[in-house]
A and B are shown apart, each in its own frame.
Chain A
């Protein structure tokens, strides 16, 4: 184990090795392909059940189908729902065929006389789209939460993931402000910090995390990170070929501000639309410069303290 600049910023090939594991399994992660998410929230429920998470209250937030709101100490998966106008696709054959008069008509949702399943589904599409995305802790290569934790409660596992040890955490709350994604939080009434563990207990038994297991569309894919990255690249290519040019990957790039995420995403709009920061950076990037500025300030402070005792009294 060597500590170098790569330990704190930039691409890092072997995160577990850098953390001190001599022998360890491959780094694993999540690839969340939001283009196939149907918003069923099976992941949220499976996570709550497996990890025995308390409820977050039963709030109706008025945000489409989202009544969870955000990731929190008690919600380690969060499905975002975004309703937005979407331009009609040029390539859509159904749209070309549809008479203009009908396209303008208001759909009252009445039952039709067509045979169920007779159409392809294309003809029912409107100038509206619904984005859904299951968010989770990113298990960053350079994790802001882990870097700042003063007790060692947060640690890097042999799988390359980031986990809090509940028997060590003293609830100082530093990780909450250290995370550039706003993921980890302190639990009310408990005082300790909680977040997704990527089902560390299940991984140890060779099982996949509960959310990935429960996802009926394979929107959440679990596996070795290298394989997931390759699969994600192919998926984006396929979507681009099909004319879905807005498909993009988020968090897969080892050259980004956190050295790449262990949990990354395929999105259909800009990250901030899903509540994700567009270009997060681990605060540790600037640790060196911050400490040297503090050093200069400390030296000036000491110099001032000494010099005030010298010189003639001007009273």
Chain B
């Protein structure tokens, strides 16, 4: 009832203190605009995170002589990057103008910062992947030798930027007026890097025989635990907006993410003994990471549809006399 306007102001002021659910609005309409982004964006978040974690695994495998892990991870990093670039461009209202992103470098815009992070990240990933794919008869040619020599420094360079790729996307979402993303700003980077590590580790477990996949299993376990712990905090510690995470589609997606990630993490403990177990756990981790991104995205969208998430926390701040 409080959402409609058929109430006098003194009356409503009374109601508001009675319960946090009571608030006033303009015909119950949204205050903010919903994000115009579609499923491409959470898919990008997932693919980008996967790529970053693979780049790390690839560099480590290269230095510790694990050729099969190196190959799979380099290709994973490349594939993840390619897919994420596709998603990023496809989500633009004017995809043919994507290069307008390159006309400025703007520290106040996480999307601009991210663009330049990807510019720094991409070439190394590309070189390392092409070196991996080169047919053996071309390897002895002059270009092939050069590429072979460049692969390691290129891979290491991209591995140095990869943590930025895995974490900046959290700022990308939080640096908005979208309540569920903005209020999660202190925790989202950890959920995202955890989710990225779990996905990359899972990918390694799926693609690489168990005797070389030990680092992938460990990365998966560390990532999954980080993700599970910090993701729970979104449900509980964000005041009114936690409800956006705890209800509806966002909740369903994130609950499944939790099951799959927890299952995959447990599986990673025994995945050293069985390839089948490794593949199943790896797939569970990949799916868990993807669902996490979609769930968080969805919570943000929901939090713009209901004026409650905007009005209630702000009204409370005003009533307490706190300054923004």
Contacts and interface: CB of A to CB of B under 8 A. Distances in A.
Interface stretch (A38-46, A80-88, A227-235, A236-244): A80-88
B163 A171 contact: no
B138 interface: no
Contacts of A84: 5-9
A146 to B, nearest CB: 8
Interface in B306-321: 307, 310-311, 314-315, 317-318
Interface in A291-315: 291, 293-302, 304-306, 308-309, 313-315
Given A304-B222, A304-B223, A269 B9 contact: yes
Interface stretch (A102-110, A175-183, A200-208, A213-221): A175-183
Interface string B145-179: 00000000000000100111011101100111110
B277 interface: no
Question: Chain B binding site: helix, strand, loop or mixed by DSSP?
Answer: helix
A173 B102 CA distance: 16
Interface string B7-37: 1111000000000000111110111110111
B215 A309 contact: yes
A286 interface: yes
Given A182-B32, A314-B272, A281 B324 contact: yes
Contact of B33 (A151, A179, A304, A309): A179
Contacts of B109: 147-150, 174
- Count class of interface residues, chain B: 35 or more
A305 B174 contact: no
B87 to A, nearest CB: 13
B60 A298 contact: no
Contacts of B185: 286, 289-290, 293
A285 B185 CA distance: 12
Given A147-B108, A172-B111, A308-B218, A256 B167 contact: no
Interface stretch (A50-58, A113-121, A186-194): A186-194
B189 A297 contact: yes
A291 B170 CA distance: 9
B142 to A, nearest CB: 33
A26 interface: no
Interface stretch (B93-101, B250-258, B287-295): B93-101
A82 B310 CA distance: 20
Nearest to A298: B163
A82 B5 CA distance: 7
A152 B93 contact: no
A171 B111 contact: no
A180 B8 CA distance: 27
Contacts of A185: 33, 36
Given A173-B37, A281-B324, A298 B93 contact: no
Nearest to A309: B60
Contacts of B193: 297-298, 300-301
Which of B33, B95, B168, B317 counts the most A-chain CB atoms under 10 A from its CB?
B33
B56 interface: yes
Contact of A191 (B94, B104, B272): B94
Q: 6 closest Cβ contacts across the A-B interface?
A: A171-B93, A191-B93, A257-B324, A275-B26, A297-B189, A305-B56
9 contacts: A169-B100, A172-B91, A177-B36, A182-B33, A185-B36, A275-B31, A290-B189, A300-B193, A304-B197
Interface of A: 8, 63, 69-70, 80, 82-87, 144, 147-153, 168-174, 176-186, 190-193, 246, 255-257, 269-270, 272-281, 283-287, 289-291, 293-302, 304-306, 308-309, 313-315
